[in-house]
Chain A
Amino acid sequence: MSETVLRLNDVTMQFGGVVAVNNLTMEVRRGEIVALIGPNGAGKTTAFNCVTGVYEPTNGEVWFGNTLIASNHPSGKMKKLYAGENAGKYEKVVKITPDRITKMGIARTFQNIRLFKTQTVFENVLIATHLRKTSNLFSATFRVNAREERRMREEALRLLDVVGLLSVRDEKATSLPYGKQRRLEIARALATGPSLLLLDEPAAGMNPQETDDLGRFIRRIKDEFRLTVFMIEHHMNLVMDISDRIYVIDFGKLIADGTPAEVQGNPEVIQAYLGVDEE
């Protein structure tokens, strides 16, 4: 069995009285494509935000490889409000900002596309190469290290080629159709040089044909960039098609996990999720 890339231990995220993620334990192993599914409002995006440092979990810990990237226990006014489990288990408090987590190798896309809207397609990708720069403010401003600037531009163009957006590189990012904007978000995430890629509903708003293409595309970049992919997705065909394993959550709680076949046959899942879908 390959090594664990991402591990969540008893992660609980509570907003006031709302328990968005409830005692979630899960892991993603190197080279896998793992899906996180669940009905609307189940807490999937919140779980991503706990991993990427956008939110500080109320309780529990997150490991990226051998690094503890988040750890917390209920404190302050959360002590009284806390409705989850394992309150006393995690003593350490670790909080790392999203930019540092990205530098460690976790990149993400956003459910409600968050491109840099005044920038072109090319510039959107170019920005994401900034974190690997070696030049400082002075040498960057005065182009002392022109080779690096050139390398960044080449890299951005190469990634645009990979996602098939090279021909629209000078368009405004937001002028692209929805599907292409999602691909651009992926290109931008890849430009940060990740080993783990988190995709938040990459197929949202796509038609069946585009969704099919996306599935193949995700597999391809996974191999080409040696990635581990962890994705949230509502399109069941896509999820069943490309995932190695699936985690199902409902009301923040894990209700099932396993291979696509196992999850598909799980009565609880059908009841909570797939059942709702058919209505």
Chain B
Amino acid sequence: MQKNFAPSAKKRPDRATWISAGIIFFIYVVVFALEQFIPPTTMLFTVLKKGATYALVAVSMNLLNGFTGLFSLGQAGFMLIGAYVYAIFSIPGEVRARVYQYFTPAINFTLPVIPAMILAGLVAALFAFLIGLPVLRLKSDYLAIATLGFAEIVRAIFQWKKLGPVTNGSNMLKDYPTFNDFNIVNAEGKVVLYLSTLLPFVIAGVCIGIIMLLINSTYGRSFKAIRDDEVAAEAMGVNLARHKQLAFAISSFFAGVGGAMLAMFTNTVQAKGFTSAMTYEILLIVVLGGIGSVSGSCISAFLFVACSEWWLRFLDQKQVIGTFEVPLLRNGFRLVVFSVIIMVVVLFYRQGMMGMRELPDLFRKKRGKEAAK
């Protein structure tokens, strides 16, 4: 009677998984190659660097909103914390005094890049944990409101003069290691190997890989159970409070790391840049890509950044064709277009680009078709 299920119990990667892995590897190779041959000031690299950063932040938001079913709007706040922690702890000692020109720096040691990034994530996660303690016990709608408020408060507090010795008040933090510092330079100061675009791809890739592993682990399964049906999940022994806390803290950890990446991308950090508009951008990416799809978030992050930084830039500028001034095009019109897009998506394409599918699913036959055969 006792059957042995060992062979089928193991999850083996199929052909579709290998194809996807191949595609991803190919993208990395292309990114590396492009960087060596195309001038580094090209808009393409701006898009790729910021795209990789936003991909990570979008996936971290998706982990919470898409996979655990908790609606949070605090992404900009956690990114801000991450960006600041990274900048504060990685500014080299010799330039610190210059950066903090109006204050005496309170933190006087420098961490290497990777530990500083991890610390950025940890501090963001700690804040999430503290907010989560009271808020996650309430009905889930409150989380959105609380996190949105939190992000605004953080933005104000980080500009507060009294905290100047730590945050440099409302002045910017700069001169910490950025993506460009990872290009390999020879003795004459000439770049011999460009790595400044590959680096964000590697960091985001590792982080997203960890998130994927988590999603496919027993914890990730419980997150999805909570999303699908809280009552049933709890009846199956899933400790709701604990798992929501975990998902929230982990999501915020990676938002913090994403914030650190953004700091490396922009070269300077200032709290006032981390507005709720940033959270909405990321929300738009998640919705467009598909709530509950990691690959969707990644693809849509790059498309979104390309549109907003590059392809749709013209919407924000006056355009004159001959003597005809194109109507509507003026500063801010781009945001109007994005708002319309999000409304159309929410109304008509609720699944986004990928729905809940992942990259390998695109190479698998649809189950329905198989059944019809």
Contacts and interface: CB of A to CB of B under 8 A. Distances in A.
A98 interface: yes
B67 to A, nearest CB: 10
A131 B238 contact: yes
Given A117-B228, A158-B5, A133 B218 contact: yes
Given A116-B225, A157-B5, A99 B238 contact: yes
Contacts of B214: 137, 141
Interface string A92-128: 0000011110110001101000111111000100111
A100 B224 CA distance: 19
Contacts of A137: 214, 219, 246
B356 interface: yes
Contacts of A117: 228-229
B236 A131 contact: yes
B236 A97 contact: no
Nearest to B11: A153
B232 A110 contact: yes
A98 B246 contact: no
B210 interface: yes
A265 B232 CA distance: 38
A77 interface: no
A80 interface: no
Contacts of B356: 118
B332 to A, nearest CB: 38
Nearest to A140: B217
A126 B246 CA distance: 20
Nearest to B215: A141
A33 to B, nearest CB: 21
A127 B225 contact: yes
B235 A108 contact: yes
Interface residues of A, number: 45
Given A118-B224, A130-B222, A102 B213 contact: no
A73 interface: no
Interface in A31-68: 52, 54
Nearest to B292: A118
A162 to B, nearest CB: 10
A226 interface: no
Contact of A150 (B10, B210, B238): B10
B6 A154 contact: yes
A143 B210 CA distance: 11
A152 interface: yes
Contacts of B218: 126, 129-130, 133, 135, 140, 149, 152
A116 B237 contact: no
A114 B229 contact: yes
A154 B6 CA distance: 6
Contacts of A191: 236
A152 B210 CA distance: 21
B9 A154 contact: yes
Nearest to A148: B218
Contacts of B9: 150, 153-154, 157
Contact of B229 (A116, A128, A133, A142): A116
Contact of A158 (B3, B10, B210, B367): B3
B219 to A, nearest CB: 5
Contacts of B157: none
Nearest to B232: A114
A181 interface: no
A153 B10 contact: yes
Contacts of A118: 224, 227-228, 292, 356
A35 to B, nearest CB: 21
Interface in B1-59: 3, 5-6, 8-11
Contacts of B210: 141
A104 to B, nearest CB: 10
A114 B217 contact: no
A157 B8 contact: yes
A161 interface: yes
B235 A119 contact: no
Contacts of A97: 234, 239-241
A188 interface: yes
A110 B229 CA distance: 12
A192 interface: yes
Contacts of B241: 97
A107 B5 CA distance: 24
Interface string A142-175: 1100000110111001100100000000110000
Contacts of A54: 231, 235
Contact of A98 (B229, B234, B292): B234
Contact of B237 (A102, A153, A154): A102
Residue from B11, B213, B225, B292 having most chain A Cβ neighbours under 10 A = B225
Nearest to B227: A118
Interface string B90-105: 0000000000000000
Contacts of A129: 218
A99 B239 contact: yes
A141 B237 contact: no
Nearest to A100: B239
B236 A143 contact: no
Given A118-B356, A130-B219, 10 more contacts: A99-B239, A99-B240, A102-B234, A107-B235, A118-B228, A137-B214, A140-B217, A143-B217, A153-B11, A157-B8
The 4 closest A-B pairs by CB, nearest first: A131-B237, A153-B9, A116-B228, A114-B232
9 contacts: A52-B235, A54-B235, A114-B232, A116-B228, A127-B225, A130-B225, A131-B236, A140-B217, A141-B210
Interface of B: 3, 5-6, 8-11, 210, 213-214, 217-219, 221-222, 224-225, 227-229, 231-241, 246, 292, 356, 367
